[in-house]
Structure 1
Amino acid sequence: MFLRDYPAELTPNGEGGFVVTFPDVPEAITEIMDESELEETATDCLVTAVDFYIEDHRPFPSPSKKKKNQVIIQLPVSISAKILLLNTMIANNIRPVDLARRMGINPQEVNRIIDTGHTTKIDTIAKALSVLGKNLQLSIR
């Protein structure tokens, strides 16, 4: 499963800018004044939506295929890895305290691992997934 390339739609806002929405993540809505702001602003918006899903303990949706007139916004690899961990935890009904116990760390450390605002080594995320029976793999396309 690859959770990185999210299609976005740009709709003119009537003031010369655009409203940016994500069909797969309805909570992610932002506005830009011109397309030069698109990548940074839309990525920030999408990462903020990830935070809502983490707080609500809901699985983050997978991206659909890009349609005509949509653009792709790429999540950072580190955020995609955190989403994979979050979705695995939810699918297996694993709370942060349960993961902490399995990893031999305290629950606060698990909360930092899944926190999008905290820099986490990819090896740490891979270890967390490993104790949940998953293998994080990277590839080049």
Structure 2
Amino acid sequence: MQYNFPCNIVPDTTEGGWGYLVSFSDIPFAHTGGKTFKESIILAEDCLVVALSCYVDLGKELPTPSSFQDGQELLTVQPVIAAQLDLYTAMREQKVTQADLAQRLAISEKDVSGLLSLDYCTPIGQVAEALRAVGCDLSTAGAAA
């Protein structure tokens, strides 16, 4: 799956408005903002990862990005995070538990939890190995997810 999410960045026009407001139409609870447009983009990228992490932590299906519209900014998650999200999706679709994956990889469930944690700097090689354990690989994970 491609993790390209459009977001809206608009000037804060409320009384005392101080910068820009960011929202994601595909993720209703994801909001942030910054003093400058550039700062808002940077914070929006972090906000997107945190929001997607909430879906993973709650065991929920990931939102499908909507089509990009004029006036929006398109944000894409980093490749290792996309691979982690593909792993999470493949596990959900195949009903592979963290315990199942731990057994397949001969690692602890805590280590599997780390593989799925978007706030942990997981080496891409470890995610690739986990993807192979669920029948995917980095080049086809998006197609299988």
Deviations 1:44-81 (A, max 9, x none): 10111122111101122232221111111221111111
Q: With the length of structure 2 as denominator, give the TM-score of the two structures.
A: 0.86
Tell me which of 39, 52, 56 is aligned to 1:50: 52
Structure 2 residue 107 is matched with structure 1 residue 108 = no
Show the counterpart of 1:77.
Answer: 79
Cα shift at 1:11: 2.8
Q: Percent of pairs identical after alignment? A: 28
One-letter amino acid matched to 2:39 = E
Alpha-carbon distance in structure 1 between the residues aligned to 2:121 and 2:11: 35
Q: Which amino acid aligns with 1:34?
A: T
In structure 2, the partner of 1:10 is 9
Deviation at 1:90, TM superposition (A): 1.3
Q: Give the aligned partner of residue 40 of structure 2.
A: 38
Instruction: Give the partner amino acid of 1:120.
Output: T
Look up the match of 1:117: 119
| Structure 1 runs not aligned, ≥5 long | none
3-state SS of 2:66 partner: coil
Bigger Cα displacement from structure 2, 62-71 vs 109-118: 62-71
Give me the whole-angstrom Cα distance separating, in 2, the residues matched to 1:20 and 1:126.
32
The one-letter code sitting in structure 2 at the alignment partner of 1:113 is: L
For residues 53 and 2 of structure 2, the distance between their equivalents in structure 1, rounded to whole angstroms, comes to 19
Q: Which amino acid aligns with 1:54?
A: V
Q: 2:51 aligns to what SS in structure 1? A: helix
Unaligned runs of 5+ in 2: 141-145
CA distance in 1, matches of 2:90, 2:61: 8
Q: Could you tell me whether the CA contact under 8 Å between 1:24 and 1:62 is conserved in 2?
A: yes
Secondary structure in 2 matching 1:120: coil
Partners of 2:56 and 2:8 in 1: how far apart?
24
SS of structure 1 residue aligned to 2:74: strand
